[in-house]
Amino acid sequence: MKNFTHFFYFFVAFLCYLNPANAAVEQQCYLFCADNQTALGAEWCYTPTTKHHVTGAVMGDNAKFVNGELYVKVKPNFATELIATTPALLSKSPLRHLVQTYGISNTDRPFKRLAAMHQYYKVKFTNTHLTQQLIADLQKLPFVQFAEQVPEHRTFLTPNDIHPDQYNVTLTNCEQAWDVTTGSMAIKIGMVDDAVRTDHEDLSANIYTNPNEIDGNNIDDDGNGYIDDVHGWDPASNDNDANPEGADNFSFSHGTHCAGIAAAVTNNNIGVASVSHNVSLVPIKTATDGSGSIAAGFEGVEYAIVLGVDVISMSWGGGGASATEQAFSTRLMPPTLW
């Protein structure tokens, strides 16, 4: 499994926490790392009163953010919740004086099932031309630790000329590994991607089935916070269908492609052989269309954590730096899970 683990590190760079560079202004700095925490030579620093900045070449100057969404972290001693999902609740919210000016329509916890992330909120608003002004006004509030834009993540490029002989099988010494083990359906891979075709002929037999959920009864039988999540989840649309939108939408195929690499049914005379040979594949849909934009990436990771998967595939990235998503990764995703 060593080579398989290294394969995932190519797709996901995690961050090593550094001591604050300037305690007087509460600056926090992070060093971007790759395999075995080897530094990549880029640093990201954040303070509650300045914009994010990155040195080095990893993030580049084209960082993109989701329009009309902010992460807000409240201070630990703040007892009042910011959750307000209706106009009536917004009128009583601690942010009520900002609602009209900025068109705030919703404030909620994006990771409500994870207690370690309960200080973090997502604020949705319509007056996007006032984004930086809203961030500044939020950070003036005594109970707000910081406010920041939500990074826009995208799937990585899928080439259209994959060699039919699957060179990756030889490159990663899969055949030697299969002499030792041919996988186990007890191992769950969470495919956090745009979507996965669960009826694909080379995937369907390996699609995970939740043994504690009754399909179609509209009840959260296992009490995990997700109703009828029998075969994965779609946090982008908040339902239990992890398939692409539209049965013939082949532009919506990135997750299905990655699912085949990681967990296609193997030794069945169909399609391809997967790296893991045979495991349980948990499809987690995080996109609303086939444009490549990931709308609910970390909400998808939240579902994978709640379900207790063994491996998480995140073949996407980009966007700007985010202290909220860094906190998510540091607190809830040990390197052994990537």
Domains of the chain, start order? 65-129+139-152 (3.30.70), 155-317 (3.40.50.200)
Res 133: pLDDT: 97
CA–CA gap between residue 299 and residue 60 (Å, rounded): 25
Res 297: pLDDT: 94
User: For the chain, how big is the Rg over CA atoms in Å?
Assistant: 21
**Taking a C-beta distance cutoff of 8 angstroms, is the pair 279, 184 a contact?**
yes
Q: What is the pTM of this model?
A: 0.70
Mean pLDDT by 10 residues, the chain (338 residues): 35 32 43 45 45 37 85 89 93 95 96 92 97 97 95 71 62 83 93 95 96 96 97 97 78 87 89 89 94 92 95 88 89 59
Res 241: pLDDT: 96
Q: What angle is formed at CA 24 by the lines to CA 21 and CA 25, rounded to 5 degrees?
A: 80
Res 330: pLDDT: 84
Helix (H, G, I), strand (E, B) or coil at 280: strand
Cα 265 to Cα 12, 89, 207, 291, 310: the distances in Å are 24, 49, 10, 28, 18
Res 321: pLDDT: 83
**Taking a C-beta distance cutoff of 8 angstroms, is the pair 201, 324 a contact?**
no
Res 196: pLDDT: 95
What is the DSSP secondary-structure string of 100-120?
Answer: HHHTEEEEE-TTTT-GGGTTE
